[in-house]
Amino acid sequence: MATGEVVYTREFGNQTRFDSVAVAPNGEFFAVAKKVHERESFVTLFRVVTGEQIQEWEFGTCNDPVTCLAISPESSLVAAGNRSGEFAIFASNQPDEPLIRKLARGSGTLANPGEIYSNRVNFVAFRQGGQQLVTRSLIIDQVNTRQYGEIATWDVTSGELRGSFPDELGNGWRTPAAISRDQKQMAVRTDEFIEIFDLESEESIVRLQDSAGTLDQWPGNSGIAFSQDGRQLAAAGDGFEVCDWD
């Protein structure tokens, strides 16, 4: 980090694509979303120091690949969401039985499958010390013939849905989102504005308009991030913008 020198590289051929990456808080490994052309989709763990592959879990397909990743604060759990609307939680330290649970918004008693279901999961993040998982999904409501974004909080241990609310924002399969460092606010951006939600009250706090015209019409090709103190947001698109919000 001090010199910017490349420590190592790994080549996987032109049939392999990496779509997302997350570094473990303990600094020992990082996770990548790996998609092999016309085959499967994987979550793969590598050691930070050597680049050695540690574990690999199949999740999704080449048509419904992994879209987002998160690692718990103690680095023991890895969460992944995919384009088919599923998300899974894996144990990074259990190579024999790594899958903790796999869920989707329309499964079990949460909704009636075929009427209301999740089509894409485009954001996952741990909060409450790794006890909860926050997801942002695109929901298909066939009853009322509409699509909308939904932010949901899940209990990691039981898999129970603790709460959910619609954000009514972009329908894109990669609407960028971010959670503040204190894990109290979540920002979601579209091609016109950024909206910040309070995760406890499940209400919108503020909507920030794109005053500089930097949020392009393809939000999936950009990103958003909170500052360390949570008082500023940085967003990138055709250009980039940093703004105070609180």
Residue 114: what pLDDT? 52
pLDDT along the chain (246 residues), means of 10: 72 76 95 84 92 91 86 96 89 88 59 59 92 88 76 91 79 73 88 84 85 51 81 72 64
Inter-residue contact 173 to 117 (CB < 8 Å): no
Task: Please list the helix, strand and coil fractions of the chain in percent, rounded to the nearest 5, in that order.
Answer: 0, 55, 45
d(CA 97, CA 85): 23
Sorted by sequence, the CB contacts under 8 Å of residue 193 that are 6+ apart come out as 207, 208, 209, 210, 215
Inter-residue contact 175 to 219 (CB < 8 Å): yes
d(CA 150, CA 7): 40
**What pTM value is reported for the model?**
0.83
Hey, CA dihedral for 56, 59, 65, 66, is it positive or negative?
negative
Which candidate, 128, 122, 32, places its Cα nearest to that of 81?
122
d(CA 181, CA 177): 13
Residue 109: what pLDDT? 33
Write the single-letter amino acid at 141: D
Residue 60: what pLDDT? 82
